[in-house]
Amino acid sequence: MTRYAYLGPIGTFTEAALRTVSASSDSLLPFANVTAALDAVRSGQADRALVPIENSIEGVVARTLDELAIGEPLVIYGEVTLPVSFALLVAKGKSASDIKKIATHPHAESQCRTYIAKNYPSAEIIVTSSTAAAAASLSKGEFDAAIAAPNAADTYGLEVLATNIGDNDGAVTRFVLVGKPGVVPPMTGHDRTSLAAFIGADHAGALLEVLTEFAVRGVNLTFIQSRPTGRELGHYHFIIDAEGHISEERVGDALTGLRRICEDVRYLGSYPRADKVPPTTTKATTDESFSAADNWLADVRAGKKI
């Protein structure tokens, strides 16, 4: 039985996403934060960890990016996307007039700012490690209300005072399934390859150099984010998601080119995309085209062609 670590406690959006991967409650291990969940894999306490990496409204989850880029090596084996809808929860018997303190995760608060400003402009916002942690604390009487997933109300014996309180309809969070480095999953035809590129000292054209390695080989990027390495000012790395699989000629060639110009490159995995969108290709960027060009060069070097 595979043991899955995830951002807990019970009732988080991460747990809901994980239940699309594993339906066995015995194999799901909640942890207080992303670092703890990933460390559970590193220590062997869990086989895989599911953690949030990106939200369509709020953007990246910085801790996840930093852990994957700088922590003890882990790789991504899959991804899950989940529509996110927020509810305002209160203890049973409480009303809107009782709300003075609202607990929630920072990403949830930022997606419900209009609702909060309109309905509870004087309420104090209390930051918690997850939306479910806010609901759990509310059930213990620590706060007046919590912003969390609607299903957290049943989990923690609360009442839903309002639903769909997010400022934007259609918010989606992307989660990644992470494990220790191992066998790369086979190509599916709708894959994504993730990596961290360390450019060393910042210099003019550094980002252009990175992008060019992909552009000249026809590899489309779906995500790029700069993050400080933590060493000193001016030292950055880029987290990159590229269309395609490392086994494809154009993707592998782009990564080798990137390794030549970067101080370091950390491979973070090739895995199926949740949306099943195939990569964009042209006749010149197929594996057959790369093989034909390699054969031509070999013939020229051998004196068979001019």
For 201-216, write each residue's pLDDT tens digit.
667 788 899 999 999 9
Q: If you count them, how many residues does the chain have?
A: 306
Domains detected in the chain: 1-83+171-182 (3.40.190.10), 87-163 (3.40.190.10), 184-306 (3.30.70.260)
For 215-258, write each residue's pLDDT tens digit.
999 999 999 998 887 776 767 789 999 999 999 999 999 999 99
Average pLDDT over the chain, rounded to an integer: 92
Cβ-based neighbour number of residue 178 at 10 Å: 27
Residue 139 has pLDDT above 90, yes or no: yes
DSSP state letters, 135-189: HHHHHTTSSSEEEE-TTHHHHHTEEEEEE---SSTT-EEEEEEEESS-PPPPP-S
Q: Which two tokens stand for residue 305?
A: 């062609």
Amino acid at 234: G
Question: What residues does 102 pair with on adjacent strands?
Answer: 125, 145
Q: Which two tokens stand for residue 159?
A: 């009442």
Q: How many CA atoms lie within 13 A of 20 on its CB side?
A: 16
Under 8 Å between Cβ of 8 and 40 = no
The alpha-helical segments, DSSP class H, found in 242-286 are 249-261
Closest-CA residue to 263 (of 212, 196, 168, 194): 196
- C-alpha span between 267 and 86 (Å, rounded): 35
Q: Counting Cβ atoms within 10 Å, is residue 45 exposed (0-12), middle (13-18) or buried (19+)?
A: middle
Cβ-based neighbour number of residue 296 at 10 Å: 12
| pLDDT value of position 305 | 75
Q: How many CA atoms lie within 13 A of 296 on its CB side?
A: 7
- C-alpha span between 135 and 91 (Å, rounded): 9
* Predicted TM-score of the model (pTM): 0.88
Question: What residues does 50 pair with on adjacent strands?
Answer: 6, 177
Average pLDDT over residues 121-127: 95
Q: Which two tokens stand for residue 119?
A: 């309905």
